[in-house]
Amino acid sequence: MKPLIAHNTDQHRRNTAIGLLCVGALLAVVAWALCAGDYPLTVAQAAHALLHRGDPTAIAVVYDLRLPRLLGALLVGAALAGAGAAYQLLFRNPLVSPDILGVSTGAGLGAVLGIFLNLPQAGVQGFAFVGGLLTVALVVLCARGVQRGDPLLSLVLIGLVLASLAGAITALLKVLADPYNQLPAMTFWLLGSLANANMNQLLWIVPAVVLGVLGLALRRWSLNALAWGEDEARALGLPVARIRLEVIVYATLISSAVVSAVGVVGWVGLLVPHAARLLVGPNFPKLLPVSLFFGALFLALVDTASRAFTAFEVPLGVITALLGGPVFLALLMRRGGATP
Residue boundaries of the structural domains of the chain: 72-97+192-334, 101-190
CB of 112 within 8 A of CB of 99? Answer: no
Rounded Cα distance between 313 and 325, Å, is 21
Q: What is the pLDDT of residues 43-90, one digit of tens each?
A: 999 999 999 887 899 999 999 999 999 999 999 999 999 999 999 998
What does the angle CA 74 – CA 80 – CA 86 come to, to the nearest 5 degrees? 130
Q: Among candidates 156, 91, 160, 112, which has minimal Cα distance to 264? A: 112
**Who's near 203: CB < 8 A, 6+ residues apart?**
none
Residue 147, pLDDT score = 66
Residue 197, pLDDT score = 85
CB of 274 within 8 A of CB of 291? Answer: no
What are the distances in angstroms from CA 13 to CA 7, 277, 297, 334?
Answer: 10, 20, 23, 29
Residue 61, pLDDT score = 93
Residue 198, pLDDT score = 87
**Who's near 94: CB < 8 A, 6+ residues apart?**
88, 273, 274, 277, 339, 340
Residue 339, pLDDT score = 47
- The pTM assigned to this predicted structure is 0.91
- Helix or strand run (H / E) with residue 116: helix 103-116
Range in 25-34, 142-151, 269-278 the model is least confident about: 142-151
Q: What is the pLDDT of residues 196-255, one digit of tens each?
A: 888 888 888 999 999 999 999 999 988 888 878 777 888 878 888 899 999 999 999 999
Residue 157, classified by CB atoms within 10 Å of its CB into exposed (0-12), middle (13-18) or buried (19+), is middle
Classified by CATH at the fold level, domain 72-97+192-334 comes out as: ABC transporter involved in vitamin B12 uptake, BtuC (1.10.3470)
CB of 102 within 8 A of CB of 166? Answer: yes
Residue 2, classified by CB atoms within 10 Å of its CB into exposed (0-12), middle (13-18) or buried (19+), is exposed
Residue 1, pLDDT score = 46
